[in-house]
């Protein structure tokens, strides 16, 4: 079982929602936290609440800023990439700016952060990487231009890293939540099955981090339904379309 006390984790995407609750729960476990997000005010408010946290404001779309933040963070035991952007969007309503922003935050930002962190983990033959994806990354879904594709890319990245880093001493972990009640999902106008509160979702993430299991999908049975959809032939999925 992974123990958090005294270990330093860089949590990227910590200011609101799921990330904020993960920070609170890891702080109770006496982890040392470096908290990053774009909102400096929200980060400062959170660090004042916690016992073992330092704020490190960061825009993950800025390559230079990511490199500087990684240097400022110093030696790490683990990194959690939870930064996310979401706009519900159908193909007919394509907004290139919003699509590129989602892709840059959800996927390319992860590449920037991992590019600064992973080489050090490999050299020291230890490190803990947790990538927060989404069940939306398992299959193309309606009104998910930008978001679904970027999460699918993040899932593929995690799977590749899991292959490559086997036996390296570096743990790679993928956590795919369903719907979580946050300011992002508040944009949805449809019913969201098994909608979780952020603190409930954070408990799933922290529980996953206690183990070396690669993949954690939740909540059940919604995760089963989404993955089953991915197994159906296109003839059935797109029937009548």
E strand or H helix that includes residue 98:
helix 96-103
Q: How far apart (Å, rounded) are the C-alpha atoms in residues 212 and 133?
A: 17
> Which amino acids are annotated catalytic?
147
Q: Report the interhelical angle of 96-103 vs 147-164 (nearest 10°).
A: 20
Q: Say how many C-beta atoms besides its own lie within 10 A of residue 32's C-beta.
A: 19
179 Cβ neighbours under 8 A, 6+ residues apart: 185, 188, 192, 193, 194, 195, 196
CA 115 to chain centre: 16
Structure token pair of residue 177:
């939540």
Give the SS3 label for residue 117.
helix
24 and 206 in contact (C-beta within 8 Å)? Answer: no
- Position of tokens 């879904």? 141
What is the greatest pairwise CA distance in the chain?
Answer: 56
């Amino acid at each position: 079982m992974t123990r958090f006390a005294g270990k330093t984790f860089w949590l990227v995407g910590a200011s609101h929602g799921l990330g904020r609750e993960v920070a609170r729960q890891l702080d109770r476990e006496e982890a040392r936290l470096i908290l990053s997000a774009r909102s400096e005010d929200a980060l400062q408010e959170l660090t004042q609440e916690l016992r073992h946290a330092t704020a490190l404001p960061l825009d993950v779309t800025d390559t230079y800023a990511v490199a500087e933040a990684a240097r400022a963070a110093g030696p790490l035991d683990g990194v959690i990439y939870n930064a996310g952007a979401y706009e519900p969007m159908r193909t007919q309503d394509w907004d290139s700016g919003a699509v590129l922003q989602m892709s840059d935050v959800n996927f390319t930002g992860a590449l920037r952060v991992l590019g600064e962190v992973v080489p050090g983990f490999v050299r020291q033959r230890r490190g803990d990487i947790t990538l927060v994806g989404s069940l939306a990354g398992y299959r193309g879904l309606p009104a998910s231009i930008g978001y679904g594709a970027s999460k699918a890319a993040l899932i593929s990245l995690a799977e590749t890293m899991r292959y490559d880093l086997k036996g390296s001493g570096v743990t790679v972990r993928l956590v795919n939540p369903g719907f979580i009640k946050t300011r992002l999902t508040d944009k949805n106008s449809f019913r969201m099955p098994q909608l979780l509160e952020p603190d409930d979702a954070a408990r799933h993430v922290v529980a996953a981090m206690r183990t070396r299991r690669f993949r954690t999908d939740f909540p059940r049975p919604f995760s089963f339904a989404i993955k089953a959809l991915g197994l159906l032939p296109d003839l059935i999925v797109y029937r009548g379309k």
